[in-house]
Structure 1
Amino acid sequence: MQVTSEPLPTTIDQPWDWWRAQMPISDQFAYFDHAAVGPLSLPAAQWVSKFAGQASQLGDTVWPSWNRNLKALRGSAAELTGGDEKEFCIIPNTTTGINLVAEGWPWVAGDSVVIPDGEFPSNLFPWLNQQSKGVEVRVVPRRSDREVQVDDLMDHVDETTKIIALSWVGYATGFRVDLDDLVRRAHDRGVAVFVDAIQGLGVYPLDLQKTPIDFLAADGHKWLLGPEGVGVAMIRRKHFDRLRPLNIGWASVKESHNYSKPKMVLSDDATRFESGSANMVGIGALAASMDLFVQIQNAHGPEAISDRVLSLASMLREKLIATGAVTAIDANPENQSGIVNFQVPGIEPAEFREEALNENVVVSCRGTGVRAAIHAYNNEEDIDRLIAVVRSV
């Protein structure tokens, strides 16, 4: 499968129907669990099948073609974010990307890092692990157990603070942080910003030229509709020499294929943070899936996917309220996302999830309620199937 970013005619004329046709899961399920594990897109599944055939029948005779997917994946990530391909590296998961920064930063005793309360453990434990080096971890309470306000984060910053680390979109609440405001104010104070983007990358517009985040990491198995075990990280070039690479291997250096006379000279780009043999099947699948996002963005602009997702999420909220369900609604649209957390009075979230699954409607339980995570290929029929379950219970 050759990855391309050129939009197809159907992408332009009927983008969401076109995308839905790339999602075999939609034939049976109304699937709203993208914040947990997204279903594989058809291009990703086709690549996995193709890879298995090639690997079993041709072995490494086609390895060069597999290897080109590494560059394709970094390039797609850069294209989606307006970033520099040379500042992206491939990682096995978001946790690895977080640890690249948390463990690689040149901490000294007395430094501090600021994070919001309620982060997913992957964006908590790596920072807590720095306490053994004398680093203070300042955990900032959320407002109403939901909102992450930039004012609150900045109130915890002082001259010792080196990094603010947070999720772009809260995994349970769906609250989306104003990254523009955060990065501007953090940089004014000389503080770097790390963003766990796993719940937002590809869905919401991000221009890394306009919003100069220092570090970013995101897995591909949620909203990007790829497999588990592969993702991308972005590290600004100005931090290359500041971060100590954690895992040095043959792939980290300039002459990466000079096995007989190896030279320990790190690559000039972010591949210095890659180490060894890559997950070729996963990388090819994620590259193929990410191209769906690139095609839509190229045809309809960087806000098209976000507008679609937020419109469907708003529709779901309105219909939930009409049934008597309880859901939090952010007054500021900039803080909304495709994650809708709700409660059905008298019904435990786990019980609702089972009832929904019996009707081929897939949701999850997070926080104190049911979490529905809506993607661009979902449609009003999917939402009505979820509402039917709400009414039935």
Structure 2
Amino acid sequence: MSMFHDEFTQAPTLKYLNHAAVAPWPKRAAVAVARFAQENVLLGARDYPDWMVVEQRLRERLMRLLNAPSTDDIALVKNTSEALSFVAFGLDWKSGDQIVISDEEFPSNRIVWEALAPQGVEVVQVSLKGDDPEAALLAACGPRTRLMSISAVQFATGLRLNLEVLGQGCKQRNVLFCIDAIQQLGALPLDVQATQCDFAMADGHKWLLGPEGLGVFYCRAELRPQLKLSEFGWHMLEHMGDYNRTGWEPAVSARRFECGSPNVLGSMALEASLSLLEEVGMVQVGKLIGERVLQLEEGLKAIPGARLHTSSNPERRAGILSFSLDGVENSSVFQQLMREQVVCITRGPGVRFSPHFYTEERVIEETLAIVRRLAVL
């Protein structure tokens, strides 16, 4: 993978293990943004149609990344929370309806459903602690369950769920299936058709190596007309660009969720970043991330007092590894790591490491050496 290492020219002392939070950009994304900025300075929007070509290319890359049937199924959104809100406030709820989530969800995938309480909608939180979290989630689906919304990978523990099993179970129970894909998309392959999901969403600024402020929303074609729209504007119309037309209807495609002017700047960066992931290939990206997480796991297991909070089963994790040191506060471990240029974060039960495919073995070894010293103190 050395041919891709020159895409990541981070400060030599930096050990970046925080891709599950906000990722650094590859060089090609910075080049794309610099070129776009220069074009704006020199020419303004003279070549706006060319910008739309890049945006269309971005939609095509996202379609392939998700294995969506068509670019018509792809909406470009501000973030995951916005996409989740389109689902939550688009569906026609009845008092007594239930939504099943886990008890480990990031606030985005909990608050949006709890916000439906005034409509009489109940949120059922299911523990993932047992040996078969999928069975526990599906067992919680009763006759009043309308939707299950689950993170593909839990943000704090790094637990990865079997989305195919959940999708099949939801289909059998006539329950809508929504995937918060932010901790899997860009780290491992994800297939919206194989998982039979109805909705999936993710931000561009984590494993996709893009900027904040631009994400993707996949909505199954049959369900698009069923989501009541709450944002309206010139861009979401079927006859977009026909400014003299007085009658209007929402676009048939997922563009109906994009009410106004697009984030062209974000599109330039994210399209470039996704081109890199496509060149490497998502199967290879997943394999390389798995190797780096394993290297961290084996190193931490050899450190006295180090406790892992992420499953050792490769099928049960993606790019996140959480740990703590006996007798040392997580905040203290985190602060010391950051002082020594290891970029990580505290989440849930431990300190969270999240390497990407390009992370060098040297970075992981240097990080483990620092943790080893901290465990001795």
TM-score by length of 1: 0.91
- What do the CA deviations read for 1:122-159 (whole angstroms, capped 9, x no partner)? 11111011111111111112316xx7711111111112
Consecutive unaligned residues of structure 1, counting only runs of 5 or more, are: 1-15
- Which amino acid letter does the alignment assign opposite residue 243 of structure 2? Y
Partners in 1 of 2:259 and 2:244 — Cα distance? Answer: 18
Q: Is the 8 A contact 1:255 1:262 kept in 2?
A: no
Q: CA deviation at 1:354?
A: 2.2
Partner of 2:88: 102
- Which amino acid letter does the alignment assign opposite residue 106 of structure 2? F
Q: Is the 8 A contact 1:361 1:385 kept in 2?
A: no
Q: CA deviation at 1:26?
A: 6.0
Name the SS for the 1:61 alignment partner: coil
Alignment partner of 2:66 out of 65, 76, 81 = 81
The RMSD of aligned alpha carbons is 1.5
User: Identity percentage over the alignment?
Assistant: 34
Alignment partner of 1:391 out of 339, 360, 372 = 372
Partners in 2 of 1:72 and 1:26 — Cα distance? Answer: 31
Q: Is the 8 A contact 2:16 2:343 kept in 1?
A: yes
TM-score by length of 2: 0.95
Partner of 1:8: none
Alignment partner of 2:142 out of 122, 137, 158 = 158
Partner of 1:130: 116
Instruction: Write out aligned runs for 1:253-272 (5 A).
Output: 253-272=237-256
Q: CA deviation at 1:215?
A: 0.2
Q: Is the 8 A contact 2:159 2:310 kept in 1?
A: no
Please say if 1:308 is aligned against 2:288. Answer: yes
Please say if 1:322 is aligned against 2:306. Answer: no
Name the SS for the 2:216 alignment partner: strand
Consecutive unaligned residues of structure 2, counting only runs of 5 or more, are: none
- What do the CA deviations read for 1:290-330 (whole angstroms, capped 9, x no partner)? 11111112xxxx42111111111011111111112111352
Name the SS for the 2:179 alignment partner: strand
Partner of 2:341: 360
Partner of 2:275: 291
Partner of 1:39: 24
Instruction: Write out aligned runs for 1:92-241 (5 A).
Output: 92-143=78-129, 149-241=133-225
- Which amino acid letter does the alignment assign opposite residue 383 of structure 1? I
Q: CA deviation at 1:345?
A: 2.4
- Which amino acid letter does the alignment assign opposite residue 322 of structure 2? N
Q: CA deviation at 1:331?
A: 5.0
Name the SS for the 1:165 alignment partner: strand
Q: Is the 8 A contact 1:70 1:90 kept in 2?
A: no
Partners in 2 of 1:280 and 1:58 — Cα distance? Answer: 15
Partner of 1:349: 330
Partners in 2 of 1:215 and 1:191 — Cα distance? Answer: 12
Q: CA deviation at 1:211?
A: 2.0
Alignment partner of 1:91 out of 77, 101, 108 = 77
Q: Is the 8 A contact 1:79 1:294 kept in 2?
A: no
- What do the CA deviations read for 1:13-54 (whole angstroms, capped 9, x no partner)? xxx222322112264411001111111111111122112211
* Length, aligned pairs only: 372
Partner of 1:249: 233
Q: CA deviation at 1:263?
A: 3.3
